[in-house]
Amino acid sequence: MIASTPIDVLIIGGGPAGLAAALAAKAAGAADILILERERELGGILRQCIHTGFGLHVFKEELTGPEYAARYVAKINAQGIPAQCDTTVIDITRDRLVTCVSAAHGLEQFQAGAIVLAMGCRERPRGSLGIPGARSAGIYSAGTAQRFVNLDGYLPGRQFVILGSGDIGLIMARRLTFAGAKVEAVVELMPYSSGLKRNIVQCLDDFAIPLLLSHTVTAIHGPERLTGVTVSKVDADLHPIPGTERHFPCDTLLLSVGLIPENELSRGAGVDLDAATGGPVVDDRLQTSVPGVFACGNVLHVHDLVDHVSEEAAEAGRQAALAAASRRQAIPLPQPEPPKPMASPMPAAAAGAGAAEAAIVVRAGDGVRGIVPQRISPAALTAAPVKLMFRPTGVHKNAVLVLEADGVPVHRVKKRVLSPGEMVELTIKPDFFAAVKPVRELIVRCENA
Amino acid sequence: MKREITCIGCPLGCSLEVSLADGQVVAVAGNECPRGASYARQECVHPERMVTALIPVPGRTTPLSVRTQRPIPKDKITACLRVIAAARPSLPIRIGDVIVPDVADTGVAVIATRDLA
């Protein structure tokens, strides 16, 4: 047995989510906070995102990833919030006992008052695509190549094809071109790109790199190093069309085919996961199904903008600090205290507000997918606006988003365009529900889809 | 003269047909909102880009990442990259340090976007 160290708020991951959560927890009065980060420096994925486009919302200027991270790290240092890098968390229990390993400290355990899950996401690997062909060297996820080039200082190839038109792939097309490599094509299965228009224009069009929509890689050539790929057009059902094959010579294939929240630790802690987002099911306070465990950033659902991660994580950090504080106060203290608002042995804030009354379930209807939060406490719904975030299932022009409470439409909002590449926010206000009380289920759906 | 460009104002990504005369925009078609017209005027007359790049530093695994302080004319990107590639900054470097004071006669500085010791 090793002795566990008590910590008020323990933050798993020192990327943008973890950093913002830590600052907000501190501001909310958390007694002691610790960030655990597996890399050797704080900053997470921002460290390798050397392109601009970060911080327009939070800092009102256009920064690169390392600059955005550096501003948060400076605040963390100024606040004296401790962070332990080079440390990998290997287990989290329902009772918030966190086990981690590091070269410096060996095996350690922390007993947390509250935990913020901020582990981010990882890239979908080749294995999840089922591309036929040789298992050649020279096939990487786009983010891996980004790390090779931007942090490790070497180019993984000279001639590239990129499968998938996610933003990382687009950004890498420009970076590789700047580095003197040739990008033959970006190949996208869907009839639209999930990447930002700005990236298509400034990373592909500027350098005359073709974007082949409704195409996919159907063969990989070269038993040792990759020598080329076969690309085919696909039909409306996304099946390759025989006779449309084209050969592209290349020594490297990059995959930019989606991101998956990294929830192995969450699963181990017994946190309920949502199949649509790949992240934990959370309530309006970003608390998971395990009391005292909160989630934010890309581990909760994959975001488009780091600015939104920071905002969401700040709320998770604040809530974690409040939960940890109420847990501390729940321990009987010898001195007289003012009467507490709740007499239950489990404080309301820690057990999830509305533990007594069933949470309202939020579901995605037609044309909508991956709503966060998935639960709202009835008290929260009538107290203040609650922000729902989700993605449309396809590109919808002149769409109408409809919010239904127990089958009754209570709010409609027109959207000129919806695209899966851009997360949608819908703020629901207490006065929507004047006519329908109490609400048991909320559904968001998209009309004219 | 006509040019086809894609508007980057929103996910709609309107295909804009821009009519140019003497290097000036005289008409924009295909845009569904006024942002498309103003984007076309900027993009067809004075296109600008932020440039980010890497400088290998001898003895360090991680290259120095840099950016232009402001967007520079698009046709200066190649010249800008060439100047950046020739830069030999001396360590230690602090985030925000000026690496090239005026890149490719743009009047724009290139600055470090990370610390490198």
Q: What is the per-residue pLDDT across A289-333, written as a single tens digit (0 to 9) for each? A: 999 999 999 999 999 899 999 999 999 999 999 999 988 887 654
Question: Which segments of chain B have a pLDDT < 50?
Answer: none
Residues of B in contact with A198 (CB under 8 A): 8
**Per-residue pLDDT at A2:** 80
- Provide ipTM, 2 decimals: 0.91
Mean pLDDT of chain A: 91
**Per-residue pLDDT at A202:** 95
Interface of A with B in 266-295 (CB under 8 A): none
pLDDT level of residue A221 (50, 70, 90 thresholds): very high
Could you say which of 3.30.70.2190, 3.40.50.2300, 3.50.50.60, 3.20.20.10 is the CATH number of the domain covering A125-257?
3.50.50.60
Query: Does A418 sit within 8 Å of B11, measured CB to CB?
Result: yes
| Cα gap A168→A166, rounded to integer Å | 6
**Per-residue pLDDT at B88:** 92
User: Percent of chain A having pLDDT more than 90?
Assistant: 77
- Looking at the complex, report in whole angstroms how far the Cα of residue A396 sits from the nearest Cα belonging to chain B: 9
- Looking at the complex, report in whole angstroms how far the Cα of residue A411 sits from the nearest Cα belonging to chain B: 24
**Per-residue pLDDT at A318:** 98
In a mutational test of the B interface, the residue from A193, A417, A422, A423 whose CB has the highest number of chain B CBs within 10 Å is A417
pTM value is 0.91
Query: Does B50 sit within 8 Å of A52, measured CB to CB?
Result: yes
Tokens of A137: 């060297």
**Per-residue pLDDT at A196:** 85
Q: Which of A30-39, A352-361, A415-424, B9-18 shows the highest mean pLDDT?
A: A30-39
> Is A360-447 the same fold as A125-257?
no
| Cα gap A297→A286, rounded to integer Å | 10
Residues 6+ apart with CB under 8 A from A176: A145, A149, A155, A160, A183
| Cα gap A60→A45, rounded to integer Å | 21
Residues of A in contact with B8 (CB under 8 A): 196-198, 201-202
Question: What value does the mean pLDDT take over residues A193-201?
Answer: 88
Query: Does B12 sit within 8 Å of A416, measured CB to CB?
Result: yes
Quickly name the fold that domain A4-122+260-351 has. FAD/NAD(P)-binding domain (3.50.50)
Question: What value does the mean pLDDT take over residues A408-433?
Answer: 89
Residues of B in contact with A61 (CB under 8 A): none
Query: Does B13 sit within 8 Å of A197, measured CB to CB?
Result: yes
**Domain ranges, ordered by start, for chain A:** 4-122+260-351, 125-257, 360-447
Query: Does B74 sit within 8 Å of A178, measured CB to CB?
Result: no
Q: A300 burial class (0-12, 13-18, 19+ CB within 10 angstroms)?
A: buried
**Per-residue pLDDT at A331:** 64
- Looking at the complex, report in whole angstroms how far the Cα of residue A131 sits from the nearest Cα belonging to chain B: 29
CB of B6 within 8 Å of a chain A CB? The answer is yes
How would you write chain A as a 3-class SS string? CCCEEEEEEEEECCCHHHHHHHHHHHHCCCCCEEEECCCCCCCHHHHHCCCEEECCCCCCCCEEHHHHHHHHHHHHHHCCCCEECCEEEEEECCCCEEEEEECCCEEEEEEEEEEEECCCEEECCHHHCCCCCCCCECEEEHHHHHHHHHCCCCCCCCEEEEECCCHHHHHHHHHHHHCCCEEEEEECCCCCCCCCHHHHHHHHHHHCCCEECCEEEEEEECCCECCEEEEEEECCCCCECCCCCEEEECCEEEECCCEEECCHHHHHCCCCECCCCCCECCCCCCECCCCCEEECHHHCCCCCCHHHHHHHHHHHHHHHHHHHHHHHHHCCCCCCCCCCCCCCCCCHHHHCCCCCCCCEEEEECCCEEEEECCEECHHHHHHCCEEEEEEECCCEEEEEEEEEECCEEEEEEEEEEECCCCCEEEEECHHHHCCCCCCCEEEEEEECC
Q: Residue B11 is nearest to which of A64, A205, A419, comparing CB atoms? A: A419
In a mutational test of the B interface, the residue from A197, A202, A304 whose CB has the highest number of chain B CBs within 10 Å is A197
Question: What value does the mean pLDDT take over residues A347-365?
Answer: 67
Q: What is the per-residue pLDDT across A32-91, written as a single tens digit (0 to 9) for each? A: 999 999 999 999 999 999 999 999 889 998 899 999 999 999 999 999 999 999 999 999
CB of B102 within 8 Å of a chain A CB? The answer is no
**In the beta sheet, which residues pair with residue A402?**
A412, A445
Query: Does A150 sit within 8 Å of B54, measured CB to CB?
Result: yes
In a mutational test of the B interface, the residue from A46, A48, A50, A209 whose CB has the highest number of chain B CBs within 10 Å is A50
Name the nearest CA neighbour of A373 among A410, A94, A385: A385
CATH of domain A360-447: 2.60.40
Distances (CA, A) of A366 to A329, A370, A391, A446, B11: 45, 12, 11, 6, 20
Query: Does B12 sit within 8 Å of A66, measured CB to CB?
Result: no
- Whether A1 shows a pLDDT value over 70: the answer reads no
Query: Does B50 sit within 8 Å of A153, measured CB to CB?
Result: no
Question: What value does the mean pLDDT take over residues A399-420?
Answer: 91
Q: Residue A417 is nearest to which of B10, B61, B81, comparing CB atoms? A: B10
Residues of A in contact with B113 (CB under 8 A): 50, 63-64, 66-67
**Per-residue pLDDT at A448:** 77
What single-letter amino acid sits at B80?
C
**Per-residue pLDDT at A349:** 44
**In the beta sheet, which residues pair with residue A52?**
A64
